[in-house]
Structure 1
Amino acid sequence: MPAFKTLEISNPNFENNNLRFITVKTPHLKGRGDICVYVPPGTSAGDTLPIVILLHGMYGSAWSWAYGAGIHLKVNEMIQNGELPPMIIAMPSDGLWGDGSAFLPLNGFNFEKWIAEDVPGALRECINGAKKSSPLFISGLSMGGFGALRIGAKYGTQFRAISGHSSITSLPQIKFFAEEPLKSYAQNDIIDEDVFETFLHYRGQLPPLRFDCGTDDLLINYNRILHKKMVKEGIPHHFEEHKGGHEWAYWSKHIISSLKFFAACM
C-alpha cells in the first residue's frame, strides 16, 4: 500500500541533466511538498545507491542546490571521473513556511518529520536505486545546516554521517534572516533549539559529523563556539574554516567536501 495519498513525479522524457521532481502530499505538511532529485544516469531498479539529502537555507526551496550551485552537474562529473561513487542527491523544500521553517515542528506542521521520514519514503516509492538499505546522509547550508546537524543527530540511527555549511547553530540566530518573530519558532525543549544541546542529548547515537564556515561569514563566531564546546565535551567531529562569506560561491565549493566525507563513511 502506498505511504502517501498522492505522489507525482516528473516525466523522464522531459528530464534535463538527470534531474527530476517529486511532489508528495503528507500529513506532516498538511499538504504537498516538493523534492528535486539527481539520479545518476543508468541507475536501474535493482541498484542500491546511497542517498544524500541536501537542505537549503532561508528564502530557498527544492530548486536551490541545483540552480544555485549546479550541484547535480558537479556530482555527475565527479561520478563519471571516479571521484565519487554513484549517489542519489535529494533536495527537498523546507515546507515553505514563512522565510524558512528551520526544519522544526512548529505551528501545527512537522517540518522535521517531513525531512527525516517523508523524503526518504518518497524516494523509495519512485526512484530507482533508493532502497530501505540505502546508506543515508544529510547536509545543508545556513538554516539547512541547522536542520541537517540537528535532524542528523536526533535521527542518528538512520543517518550514516551528517554535515553543515555556514550553519545556524542556535535558534536565536534565525533573527538575522527571518521576518517572522523568533517566538514563532520556539520549541518546548532547548534540545530542539540548540545544536550543541542536541549533540549532548543524542551523543550516544551520533554518526560521524563535520561542519565548516567561511571566515567572513556572519555566523563564523557561532560555529567556532560550537566547535570549542564540542572539543571541551569530547564529542568527535571535524571543523574547518575557509575564506568566504555567507554566499553561494562558498557553498558550491565546499559542498564537495561533504560529499567526499560521505563517500569515505560508506
Structure 2
Amino acid sequence: MYHFKKKLIGLLIGILCISSVNSQIDTLLVYSKTMQKNIPNLIITPDNSSGYKKPVLYLLHGANGNYTEWLKHVPALQEYAKKFDIIIVCPDGGITSWYFDSPIDTKMQYETYISKELIEAIDSKYKTITEKKGRAITGLSMGGHGALYLAFKHQDIWGATGSMSGGVDIRPFPNNWDISKRLGTYPKNKDAWEENTIINLVYLLDGNLKIIFDCGTNDFFYQVNKNLHKKLLERNIAHDYIERPGGHDWNYWSNAIKYQLTYFNDYFKK
C-alpha cells in the first residue's frame, strides 16, 4: 500500500508539472489571395481550457529568419503565453520582405497579408479579442521595423506596438538586406524609401498608440533607434525607450522580449 501511494503521488506530481509548463503549439497555414500562396504561421496558445477571448501578440522575425525562429531561440515563449494568458502568433514574413507591400514585387505584399489576411484567419480560428485593445505587435531587427511600420499605418488594428533592435530608419542602409529589391534602388526610388521608413511615419501618430522599443548600445541599429526616440520626444509622443549593453543577437532579444511582454500585459489589462 505504501509503494502504491508513493507511485500515485509521483504520478500526480508529474501530471501537474506537465500541465503547468505546456502550451499548445500549432502551425497554421493561411492562404494569401494577394500573393497567391500558403504561408505558415506558428501559434502558441495557453494550455488552459477557459472559454473567454484572449489578447494576441503578433511577434515578427528578422531578416533571413522564418516563423519558427522565435520559439527555436526562446522556448520560454510557451511559459510566457501561459503566464500572461495570451495567444502568440509568429508569422512567416519571408526572408527579406521588410513587411512592406512592395511597389515593385507582387510576390512581396506582407503588409496586406499580416494586417488583413492573417488577422482575419486568426480571429476566425481562435477565441481572440477582435478589437485593437486586444492586439499588440512587436519584432526584432527587420521585424522591429515591420511591427512599428504596420502599427503606425494601421492604428485601427493594433493598440500597442514594439521593436527590439529594429531597423527603424532604412535609409542609411541602401545596399543591405535586399531592401532595394523591395523598394528599388534609393537613387532611382527616393520617394519610396522616404515614405516607407519608420522615422518618417511619426506624423501618423496621435498619441493613442502605445509604443515600446529598445536597442543594444553595441548594435548597428543603435543610432537610428536613438534618432527615433529623439524625434518622438520632439513631437511629444508618449513612448517607452530602453537602451542597454548588448548587440544584435539572441542573447539580447531573449532578454528584451520579457520587458516587452510585461509592457503589453499592462496594456491588455487596462
Common topology (TM > 0.5): yes
Determine the C-alpha separation between the residues in 1 that align with 2:218 and 2:120.
38
Distance 1:252 1:131, change over 3 A: same
Q: What TM-score do you get using the length of structure 2 for normalisation?
A: 0.81
Residue aligning to 1:237:
239
Residue aligning to 1:137:
136
Secondary structure of 2:119 counterpart: helix
Residue aligning to 1:222:
224
Distance 1:73 1:131, change over 3 A: closer
Distance 1:181 1:191, change over 3 A: closer
Measure how far apart 1:70 and its partner are: 1.6
1:207 to 209, 216, 222: 209
Greater Rg by CA: 2
Residue aligning to 1:61:
66
- Aligned-partner residue type, residue 91 of structure 1: C
Matched, 1:117 2:89: no
Measure how far apart 1:72 and its partner are: 2.2
Structure 2 gap ranges (5+): 1-21
Measure how far apart 1:68 and its partner are: 1.8
Contact 1:149–1:163 (CA<8 Å) still a contact in 2? Answer: yes
Determine the C-alpha separation between the residues in 2 that align with 1:230 and 1:60.
29
Q: What TM-score do you get using the length of structure 1 for normalisation?
A: 0.82
1:38 to 41, 44, 55: 44
Counterparts of residues 89-108 of structure 1 (less than 5 Å)? 89-94=88-93, 96=94, 99-106=95-102, 107-108=105-106
Distance 1:145 1:173, change over 3 A: farther
Secondary structure of 1:35 counterpart: strand
Residue by residue, what CA displacement relative to the aligned partner does 1:110-140 show, whole Å, maximum 9, x if unpaired?
210111112221112222x224247010000
Residue by residue, what CA displacement relative to the aligned partner does 1:217-239 show, whole Å, maximum 9, x if unpaired?
11101111111122122222111
Distance 1:101 1:114, change over 3 A: same
Residue aligning to 2:155:
156
Counterparts of residues 158-177 of structure 1 (less than 5 Å)? 158-173=157-172, 175=174, 177=176
Structure 1 gap ranges (5+): 1-15
Contact 2:217–2:243 (CA<8 Å) still a contact in 1? Answer: yes
Determine the C-alpha separation between the residues in 2 that align with 1:43 and 1:123.
18
RMSD: 2.1
Secondary structure of 2:136 counterpart: strand
Distance 1:229 1:212, change over 3 A: same
Determine the C-alpha separation between the residues in 2 that align with 1:181 and 1:131.
34
Distance 1:198 1:252, change over 3 A: same
Q: Percent identity?
A: 24
Residue aligning to 1:258:
260
Contact 2:44–2:78 (CA<8 Å) still a contact in 1? Answer: no
Contact 1:168–1:174 (CA<8 Å) still a contact in 2? Answer: no
- Aligned-partner residue type, residue 101 of structure 1: S
Contact 2:138–2:161 (CA<8 Å) still a contact in 1? Answer: yes
Residue aligning to 1:3:
none
Matched, 1:194 2:187: no
Matched, 1:25 2:27: no
Structure with larger RCO (C-alpha < 8 A, sep 6+): 1
Secondary structure of 1:204 counterpart: coil
Distance 1:181 1:260, change over 3 A: closer
Distance 1:219 1:51, change over 3 A: same
Equivalent pairs, count: 238
